[in-house]
Structure formats: structure tokens, C-alpha cells
Amino acid sequence: MSTVAMPDLAVVSSPWTLGPLHLSNRVVMGSMHTGLEVHDDGGAGMAAFYRERAAGGAACIITGGIAVNDEARGGPDFAVFGVGGADERFRTAVDAVHEEGSTILAQLFHAGRYALASGMVDRHGEPQRVLAPSALPWAAARGVVPAEMTADDIERTIEDFAAAARSARDIGFDGVEIMASEGYLINQFQSPLTNLRDDEWGGDAERRRRFTVEVVRAVRAAVPDLAVTIRLSGADLMPGSSTDADVDALVHDLLPLGLDGISVGIGWHESRTPTVQAAVPHGAWLSYASRIAGVVRDSAHPDVKVIASNRMTDLRDGETVLQDGLLDAVALARPFLADPAIVNRSLAGAFDLVNTCIGCNQACLDRSIIGQPVSCLVNPRAAREVAFPARPTASPKRVDVVGGGPAGLAAAVDAARRGHTVTLWEASDELGGQFGLAALVPGKEDYAATVRSARAELDQRGATINLGRPATADDLTGSDAVVLAPGVVPRAVDIPGAALPHVRSYERALREGVPAGTVAIIGGGGIGVDTAAFLVESPDEAHRATEFAARWDLDVSEAVVGDVPQRLPAATRTLRPGTDVTVLRRSGKFGQGVGITSRWVAIGRLRDAGVHMVGGVQEYLRIEPGVLWIRDEVGEEHAIPADNVVVCAGQERAIDTEGDAPDGLVTRLQDAGVPFAVVGGARDARSVDAVRATSEALEAVRRLAP
């Protein structure tokens, strides 16, 4: 646990009211779609998921979106009240939250044209309809064109919102949140891009606002005794969509209707402005929430609460945001995946123990949009709490973990939490492995927080950590369970000239920097893209925030930017123009291996910086001083300027002191009869990613040491 004096979190920790609800702190767990909503488990998965966050200090929890009717579903893993046992599942989850002394609101949801309905059927076995204000598809709809809603469709949908609110009340929810942000149906009615109607529901800004107004009016009338909030789009980030004035006018229309709170969202899913990726500066969108709060405070209904959200990962950020009294609370979503106890730990001053969300999206958003089970890279138990309960072990064992990268740390922390005696062996002088390298890349500094929190928790729980000490079979033969996670090392290339002094691996480049001059990067996957970003982007988050605001013509808040530590001494960061950097790739997409919601951002940043991207390399011919010779896809030779060459050609299993890891140890452990498992890159370096590695580590340590 940190020994640093706890910053004053007086505002974040202070009680407040949200309509009829009396809440103990000002941290709301924002809505996250997990897929647990439709699990045929009687609600056990949802209950365990929400219970752990409620017990961890979330004063108010917002569920993932609950579709108000069949066509409102965003995909097959969206629940509808009254269908397929949904009510019973949600009742179980609500009871769990209440048992922990917290509150929970049901988010009422309609996807509109964002419904990915291809192949889906409704409760009657008929193909699911897709409805929208106008018959305009979006890129991810797989050719499905929504039907324009008739007047009857609109009136029925408004009543469906009200009916869903009544169902939420009957189930036991403390309130409802109306989803009117992120480009879903209600937001679609507000925008001139997606509402081309010329009737009472469209044609000018006032008529485009009517659907939102009528939904709120109907929901408020349906549940006069519950808290009612709305998730409103502070800015659509779509050229030609609603203006700030349009949004402010909508807020004025809604305030007299009895709303208890407004949660401010940002951006549409199809927007080309990054909103939630690690590259987005911390707290970038706070100015939009503050603007709306100003509208509320200057109105006849100044007591309506305004909740800020997006790209806040630390309660100290929340304290900064709330101190002037304009905003009432902060909503954190993904940080509750990373650490269910983020509130309790922070309020106790144990910031070193908080497992920070790194904004990677790989196990959460990336999975959600394709209907796969949601979890968390840095907390692989997330949304799997039933399969991996947190209770202490009944049979403590000696558990040895070889490797202090993300997989090894995940195994060691889980075993230590459950009461096993843990020894961690790391051959290098520091923990972190590939996460330690990632933390050196601009925008990925938060990766260091996972390493920091794991070290703090292992120390707190009495684990033994051996740094600079490769494990030998003799060290491990007395163990009850061994997790082999020595990780990966950069793969060398067999190219004439690869041994020249100006050629270095990506690991050396990230740790030591790269001398001035042109750079050719061999390999354009995720590591190559990260290395290019390291070379051309500032390590100073405040500087990057200024560039981000200018690039996207945004009003980016400065409230919490600049709180990310600079991981490398300035002397090692010789930034160069993007035109000095060339990234080369044989085949496939640049940035392959980066998550689907982040790849386009990473590639776009490099293109904006002027980095050369050369694909279709048939052969790397030779490396000479100042030049890399290649043969292109049509067989012609080209000289690529290269005062420095950085090799990002993949990875291979790390080597330990007894042979190719983990083969040397494997043989000795097998001979000694020691239970063991090989996980992550040590098991298979060809397709390794950190999501797979941490998940395998958790599964292995639970299997070996229940």
C-alpha cells in the first residue's frame, strides 16, 4: 500500500441525492454491455458481477442497455424485460446490489439503426425488424437498411419505454436511465444526419427534439417514485449533426419534465473522432459536461444533477472535476472492469493498489461489438466471477510463478488473494515484461499502473518476489503448483547486415531510445506501429492533449490532462518528424493485432504525423549503413533511408537458463512430478496477445491451486 499521504477526496467521498436516492459517494458505475444479461443462469453471473462492484464502493450502478422491445436490441445478447426469463435474472442482480447497500438503475435502450439484426429473430420467431427515424443504414449494418418508423411505430415505442420503466420498478430497480447518446435511436431522432423526416417528429430542430421529450415525459409519468436520468450526447462528433445550441435547447426542453439527472456522453460509434481509446487524453470531454451543467444551473431547474463521464480512470481525477461544484458526480465504466474495488481502495488512500483501466478495449468494447463475452485484459475475472469466485482457498499451497509479465502477474495476484503462498521469479531486474515496454509508448503510460498495482498487492499479501533471478528446476521441485509464464522476446531476422550496430530490436529501441536520423521499422504489426508512435509522438500528455484538440477541432478540457508520468528521461526521447520514419510490412494490415476499436486510431495518428507506410514488401534484401534494401510486390528493388533500423518482426518464446523456455523446465518438472502449466507467449508466441495471456494465467492457477 502506498505510504504517500492521501489526497483530499472530500468531494468525491461526500454524500449526495439523485432524486429519491441518497448516495454515499459521487462515483457512478456507468453502463457497460457485458452479455451476462442473457445468460441462462438465473442471473447468477450478473448478480456476482454487480455485487462485487457494489461491495467495492460503487454508490450507484447503471446496467448495460436493456432493450425496450424486440427491435430495440443491438444484437442477440441484449435482454428485453418480460422475455426469456429476463425479469428473474435482473431481480437476482438487483437483490445482490441491494444486499451490499448500493443502488442500481436500469438503462432503457433502443439501438435504432445501430441494431445488428442480421440473422436475428424476435420472440415470435420472425426476423427482427430494424427501425429508425429515416431509412438510413450505417456502415456496420451488413447491408441492413432500417425501415422508417411510422407514426404508430413512434407512439408504440414511446409507450414501450414507459412499459420498460414500469417493469424495472416491479423488478426492484431504484431508477432508470434513458439512453439518448452514442448515436442510438433517441440520439438519431435529434440529429439532422439521421432524421430526414418532415412531420411532427422531424423537419427542424424543435421537431427533431420531440421524440426525446415525449420519451422522457412518458417514463417520468410511468415511474413517479423512481430516479429518472438520461444519458445525453454532449457532442455527436459527426460533421453536420446537432450543434451545441441544439443540445442546449434540448436540455432546456427536458428540465421541466422531472428529470433527476443528466449523464453526459460523447460521440457516435461511427464518428471518426476517437473518444474512448488510450490515445484520447484523460478527461478530454469534461468541457462538454461542464457546458451542459452551466445550462442546467442557469435554468429554472438548477437542482437537476449533472454527471460527467469518459476517459477518467482515477478518483483523484474525479475530485479535480467536482471541486468547483458545477458537476455533481462522475461516471466510470471500464475502470470498474479493471478494479471492482476502485472506490474503496481510493477512498482508503491505497492508490497503488488500484488496478487502472489501460484503455485498450481489447476484452471489453472489442468483444462487445461482435457479441463475444466481455471481460478485461488487466482483470481476467471480470464478468467471470461465478467461474472464478473471490473466496479464500480451503487448502493453501505453495505456488511458484515464473515470469513477471502480465500473465505471470495475473497468476501471482490471483493466487495470493486467495491465500496461497506465492513466489514470483523474474529473470530481469524489473516486473512488467511487455507491459513495461508498452508503458514507454505515448498514450500507453497507464500500462505501468497494472504492474504497479500487482507489485503493491503482492507485497501487501506477503508474496516473495525474486528479481534478476531466473528460476531453476531446483528452485521449483518443492512447489505444489508452477505457472510458467516467462513470456516472449523480440524475434531476430535473418537479413544480411542485421548485425550492424545501427540495427536494434524494438525492446532496445523503446528502452534506450533511437539516435537521431531516419528510421526504417521492419514489421508493421502492433509492435511496429507502437514503435513508430514512440519515435514521433510527445511523451508529454498535456502537449498531446493540445495536439488532439487541434487535430479534431475540439474543446478539450485541461482539468486532468498532464497527470500521466513520463516514463523515459527526456534525453532518450529524440523526437523526429514523421517523414523520417518508414514502417514496412510484407502482407496484411498495418497494426494487425491491435484491437478493432483502437487500430484505426493508431494508424491515423501515424498518417497524420507523416510516417511512411510501405506494404507489400516481397523481400528484405540487405541492410547497409544508412539504407535498407527491399524488393517490392512487383519485384523492383528500393532503397529505404535508414540511419537506424528497428526490428519489429514478431516474437518468440523467451529463453531461460535451462533451455528454450519452457522446455527445459518442463522436462525437469515432469520428471519431478510437480504440477505445472505453460501460459501466454511461452505456450505459443505466434498469436499471443495480453488478453489471451492473462486469461490463460488465471485459468491455469485456478486449476493447479483451487
Q: Which residues are catalytic?
A: 184
What are 618's strand-pairing partners? none
172 by DSSP, 3-state: which? coil
Separation CA 288–CA 536 (nearest Å): 30
**Nearest partner of 647 among 539, 494, 537, judged by Cα:** 494
CB-based contacts of 129, cutoff 8 Å, min separation 6: 70, 71, 117, 122, 147
Separation CA 167–CA 95 (nearest Å): 15
The amino acid at residue 255 is L
Q: Are 332 and 28 in contact (CB under 8 A)?
A: yes
CB burial class (10 A; 0-12, 13-18, 19+) of residue 4? exposed
Separation CA 604–CA 598 (nearest Å): 10
Q: Are 41 and 386 in contact (CB under 8 A)?
A: yes
CA distances from 480 to 27, 260, 392, 412 (A): 42, 55, 17, 14
Separation CA 529–CA 375 (nearest Å): 25
Separation CA 388–CA 698 (nearest Å): 9
Q: Are 680 and 652 in contact (CB under 8 A)?
A: no
Q: Are 232 and 250 in contact (CB under 8 A)?
A: yes
Helices 526-536 and 599-609 pack at an angle, to 10 degrees, of 40
CB burial class (10 A; 0-12, 13-18, 19+) of residue 314? buried
**Quick one: cell of 608?**
497524420
Strands 626-631 and 619-624: antiparallel
87 by DSSP, 3-state: which? helix
